[in-house]
């Protein structure tokens, strides 16, 4: 039993360090978006999304690790700094493969979406690094939430070319949950961010106000979930969103019970796996 537990623990740590939990969350969210828009997305789209998310997060973590130097308190940055050469090689190969998939296999409607998303994320990475070098304020949490939500719903939106009120409410609800998630990480790592002089929203408003902001976002998101359920009768969608909301509420109030931040981060990001439940409740 100890052997199983020890290896499960190692697997969780590795999954978190290489951002696999984030990739799974993006795939889950994208499938959820396809259900909301009542469309079908190809396997090539999901591959492109997974590869793009992994490359972006890996590049961002490598840059962060190089920026802050030696920081034993953040295992993710330390891992990416230590293994940056291997990660860059894998990322480069994966980028080439993804480029070929985009050019020759991806639906033409989604190519513009992919290029636009790539340009927006590239701008984010550039401005994020400039703001740190110049010690400028950068609303990182808000920008990440907007880009992530666009990445999840953008493909479905491009194909459908229209949005009804139910789909719009679901997207806004999801955005609030993503923003709450990003603020949660700033909340968990508040002392590290302050020590590393990251001028982000949470650092500007303070630890207590960050917690209050997360709670406010979750309350708004919960109300939107109820509205979606009562007005549209799409209770399967509403249930998924409320379940995610409930998990974030638990994490904000009981985060102190997690001694290992890797496990806490893994559980926080795995909340975005919950939309896979739509396969069983829809």
Q: What is the pLDDT of residue 194?
A: 59
Say how far apart CA 88 and CA 109 lie, in whole Å.
30
**In the chain, where the domains are located:** 13-281
Pull the structure tokens for residue 253.
């109030």
CB-CB contact of 91 with 61 (8 Å): no
The mean pLDDT value of the chain amounts to 86
Q: What is the pLDDT of residue 99?
A: 87
Query: Between residues 60 and 67, which one has the greater pLDDT?
Result: 60
pLDDT band at 195 (very low <50, low <70, confident <90, very high): low
Say how far apart CA 77 and CA 55 lie, in whole Å.
15
Taking residues 98-123, report their average pLDDT.
Answer: 86
Say how far apart CA 171 and CA 189 lie, in whole Å.
27
Taking residues 225-251, report their average pLDDT.
Answer: 94
Checking if the pLDDT of 4 tops 80, the result is no
Query: Between residues 259 and 103, which one has the greater pLDDT?
Result: 103
Angle in degrees, CA 223, 211, 140, rounded to 5: 95
- Kindly report the pTM of this predicted structure: 0.89
Query: Mapped to the 3 state alphabet, what secondary structure does the chain carry?
Result: CHHHHHHHHHHHHHHHHCCHHHHHHHHHHHHHHHHHCCCCCCHHHHHHHHHHHHHHHHHHHHHHHHHHCCCCCCHHHHHHHHCHHHHHHHHHHHHHHHHHHHHHCCCHHHHHHHHHHHHHHHHHHHHHHHHHHHCCCCCHHHHHHHHHHHHHHHHHHHHHCCCCHHHHHHHHHHHHHHHHHHHHHHHHCHHHHHHCCCCCHHHHHCHHHHHHHHHHHHHHHHHHHHHHHHHHCCHHHHHHHHHHHHHHHHHHHHHHHCCCHHHHHHHHHHHHHHHHHHHHHC
Taking residues 123-151, report their average pLDDT.
Answer: 85
Say how far apart CA 202 and CA 183 lie, in whole Å.
7
Least confident of 151-155, 159-163, 200-204, 227-231: 200-204
Please report, rounded to a whole number, the percentage of residues in the chain having pLDDT higher than 90.
Answer: 46
Checking if the pLDDT of 203 tops 70, the result is yes
Checking if the pLDDT of 258 tops 90, the result is no
* Backbone phi and psi for residue 162, each to the nearest 5 degrees, phi listed first: -155, 155
Q: How far is CA 258 from the centre of its chain?
A: 21
Taking residues 188-214, report their average pLDDT.
Answer: 76
pLDDT digits (tens, 9 = 90+) for 147-163: 999 999 999 988 888 89
* Backbone phi and psi for residue 38, each to the nearest 5 degrees, phi listed first: 55, 50
Taking residues 60-88, report their average pLDDT.
Answer: 79
CB-CB contact of 64 with 131 (8 Å): no
pLDDT band at 167 (very low <50, low <70, confident <90, very high): very high
pLDDT band at 73 (very low <50, low <70, confident <90, very high): low
**CB-based contacts of 117: which residues, under 8 Å, 6+ apart?**
52, 147, 150, 151, 154
13-281: which CATH number, 1.10.10, 1.10.1750, 1.10.600, 1.10.1330? 1.10.600
Pull the structure tokens for residue 192.
């590290």
Checking if the pLDDT of 191 tops 70, the result is no
pLDDT band at 270 (very low <50, low <70, confident <90, very high): very high
């Amino acid at each position: 039993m100890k052997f199983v537990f020890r290896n499960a623990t190692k697997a969780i740590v590795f999954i978190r360090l290489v951002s696999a939990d984030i990739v799974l969350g993006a795939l889950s969210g994208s499938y959820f978006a396809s259900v909301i828009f009542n469309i079908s997305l190809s396997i090539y789209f999901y591959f492109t999304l997974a590869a793009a998310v992994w490359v972006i997060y890996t590049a961002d973590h490598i840059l962060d690790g190089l920026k802050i130097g030696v920081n034993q308190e953040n295992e993710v940055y330390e891992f990416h700094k230590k293994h940056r050469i291997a990660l860059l090689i894998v990322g480069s190969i994966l980028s080439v493969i993804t480029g070929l998939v985009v050019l020759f296999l991806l639906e033409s409607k989604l190519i513009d979406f992919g290029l636009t998303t790539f340009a927006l994320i590239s701008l984010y990475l550039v401005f994020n690094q400039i703001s740190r070098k110049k010690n400028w304020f950068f609303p990182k949490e808000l920008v990440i939430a907007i880009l992530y939500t666009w990445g999840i719903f953008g493909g479905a939106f491009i194909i459908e070319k229209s949005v009804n009120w139910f789909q719009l409410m679901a997207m806004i609800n999801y955005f609030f949950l993503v923003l709450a998630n990003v603020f949660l990480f700033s909340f968990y790592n508040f002392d590290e961010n302050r020590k590393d002089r990251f001028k982000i929203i949470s650092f500007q408003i303070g630890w207590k106000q960050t917690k209050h902001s997360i709670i406010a976002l979750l309350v708004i998101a919960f109300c939107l979930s109820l509205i979606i359920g009562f007005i549209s009768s799409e209770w399967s969608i509403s249930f998924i969103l409320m379940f995610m909301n409930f998990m974030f509420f638990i994490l904000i109030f009981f985060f102190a019970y997690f001694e290992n931040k890797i496990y806490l981060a893994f559980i926080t990001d795995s909340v975005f796996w919950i939309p896979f439940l739509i396969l069983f409740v829809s």
